[in-house]
Amino acid sequence: MTQRVVVLGGGTAGTMVANRLARHLTDQIRSKEVEILLITNTEKHLYQPGYLYIAFNEKAPEHFIREERDLIHRDVTLIVDEIQKIEPDQNRVRSDRAEYPYDYLVIATGSRPDFDSVPGLRESAHNFYTLDGATRLRDTLAGMKKGRILITVDIPHKCPAAPLEIALMLDDYFRKRGVREQVEIQYTYPIGRIHSLESVAEWALPQFEKRGIAYETFFNLERVDPERKTAITMDGEEHPFDVLISVPAHQGAQVILDSGIGDEMGFVPTDRHTLKMEGSDNVYVIGDATNLPISKAGSTAHYQSEPLVHNLASRLKGLPETAIYNGKVACFLENSLQDASFITFDYENPPKPAATSELLHWFKMAYGEFYWLNVRGIL
Ligand SMILES: Cc1cc2nc3c(=O)[nH]c(=O)nc-3n(C[C@H](O)[C@H](O)[C@H](O)COP(=O)(O)OP(=O)(O)OC[C@H]3O[C@@H](n4cnc5c(N)ncnc54)[C@H](O)[C@@H]3O)c2cc1C
């Protein structure tokens, strides 16, 4: 009988897993012992790290968009459908038009910024966490010659480095346009330092001080007044702005909340080494969808896909599962529009930012091009 793997979510993690599995299981798929279904709710695949470069008009939006159909291995069946319920007790997922039974499920439904987490935020704030948001921010920044930019951040959110990167890149962007003196940049962070990773905070702080980027810690938004263009914190302070750029707290996908399999934020309780959903032996979770207290990043999904695919392919071949995920994450940190640092870390080893260089910036740009091979499972 054919064993069916359903991969739910066709973003970075899901596409990588489905393609890598297909490459490991060519014989089993062709002899119909195994089939792989990738179910996702959109035909487009977006490379989200590209949004930063859209905001600064370094690249056009189209540069970061591909058809999902063109990215998947020929042995993977792509289904475009919005799944409404995951039912692990029944070994199936379902939409309002079909049911999809599975033997193994990989949940890769990602995370999303919750623009309703703070009253007034949706109406007032710019963002660079969506394609539309980055495009609108690009046009606003292009027209700005003076004024006050306020950056607010709430946790958890994907790509923990991105708020620091946008502050440092804004500084460089306005310097290059010759109006930096007239543009005030105020960065804020909800805890007692400017980044959750101590070494990253220590790396960025001297840059902020040298380049006149103002910052405030323990900054937690209570509401935003769109008419007065003012952000109000939980301790009652008022912060006026001309442009507000917000990274709101993220949630897991709606289907996780609706299926009752996540925590209160919609993230799925996941074993940190096996990547199995807690309490399940045939449901795996990968990428932003997990509740693991590590960076929600494409690189995390990449490193998680290696043990996950190894174990799942082994099981489908009747072999034992022996691989474990060690918490590995890697991340470039843009210091400006032309130089960057790099960190890598895991459960045991904290990050140590590398010296910034133009070369690291170009590696980050080059990775954006290689991504399309990586997500196909070729690299
Ligand atoms: C501005 C920005 C900069 C970033 N920079 C970096 C970086 O430099 N390095 C890095 O490693 N990471 C970076 N990231 C983070 C990275 O993009 C994400 O962590 C990564 O995309 C997570 O992959 P994922 O597959 O878990 O989620 P996603 O890629 O978001 O994919 C989830 C998929 O599930 C689908 N889905 C959701 N619900 C359903 C449903 N009910 N039915 C069917 N399909 C569904 C969604 O449509 C989506 O296609 C950045 C992100 C942003 C926004």
> Residue 345 domain-assigned?
no
CA–CA distance, 200 with 349 (Å, rounded to integer): 14
- 101: cis peptide before it, omega within 30°? no
Tokens found for residue 110: 């990602």
Average pLDDT (2-15) is 98
| Ligand 1 atom showing the smallest separation from residue 13 Cα | 25
Q: Is residue 356 part of a domain?
A: no
pLDDT band at 11 (very low <50, low <70, confident <90, very high): very high
9 and 66 share one domain: yes
Q: Are residues 301 and 241 in the same domain?
A: no
Distances (CA, A) of 147 to 184, 185, 189, 256: 6, 9, 21, 41
Same domain for 147 and 223: yes
Same domain, 213 and 181: yes
Residues facing 113 on adjacent strands: 250
Residues 269 and 235 in one domain: no
Average pLDDT, the chain: 97
Q: Are residues 45 and 152 in the same domain?
A: no
Q: Which helix (H) or strand (E) holds 104?
A: strand 104-107
- Taking the CA of residue 46 as reference, the ligand 1 atom at the shortest distance is 29
Q: Is the pLDDT of residue 45 over 90?
A: yes
Digit-coded pLDDT (tens) for 264-299: 999 999 999 999 999 999 999 999 999 999 999 999
pLDDT band at 379 (very low <50, low <70, confident <90, very high): confident
Q: Are 244 and 266 in the same domain?
A: no
Last residue of a domain, one of 250, 265, 280: 250
Residue 346 belongs to some domain of the structure: no
User: DSSP 3-state assignment of 300?
Assistant: helix
Q: How far apart are CA 107 and CA 14, in angstroms?
A: 8
End residue of a domain, out of 250, 267, 292: 250
Q: Are residues 187 and 277 in the same domain?
A: no
Mean pLDDT of 76-94: 98
Average pLDDT over residues 43-54: 98
Residues 240 and 157 in one domain: yes
* Residues in contact with ligand 1 (CB, 6 Å cut-off): 8-14, 39-42, 48-49, 51-52, 82-83, 108-110, 128-129, 158-159, 162, 253, 255, 287-289, 296-299, 301, 331-332
Instruction: Tell me, in angstroms, the distance from the centre of ligand 1 to residue 147's CA.
Output: 32
Measured from the Cα of 253, ligand 1's closest atom is 38
Q: Which structural domain, as residue segments, surrounds residue 199?
A: 114-250
* Closest C-alpha to 127, from 145, 154, 151, 146: 151
Read off the tokens for 331: 């991340």
| pLDDT at position 378 | 85
* Average pLDDT for 102-119: 98
Each residue's pLDDT tens digit, 193-202 = 999 999 999 9
Q: What is the pLDDT of residue 187?
A: 98
Residue 335 lies in a domain: no
The CATH number assigned to the domain holding 309 equals: 3.50.50.60
User: Closest residue (by CA) to atom 29 of ligand 1?
Assistant: 11
Considering the domain architecture, whether residues 186 and 198 belong to the same structural domain is answered as yes
**Does residue 75 sit in the same domain as residue 123?**
no
Domain endpoint, select from 195, 220, 250: 250
The number of folded domains in the chain is 2
Q: For 146-163, what is the mean pLDDT?
A: 97
Are residues 33 and 148 located together in one domain of the fold? no
The pLDDT > 70 percentage for the chain reads 100
Q: What is the pTM assigned to this prediction?
A: 0.98
DSSP string covering 154-215: -SS-SSTTHHHHHHHHHHHHHHHTT-GGGEEEEEE-SSSSSSSSHHHHHHHHHHHHHHT-EE
Q: Is residue 212 packed enough to be buried (19+ CB in 10 Å), middle (13-18) or exposed (0-12)?
A: exposed
Confidence (pLDDT) at 93? 98
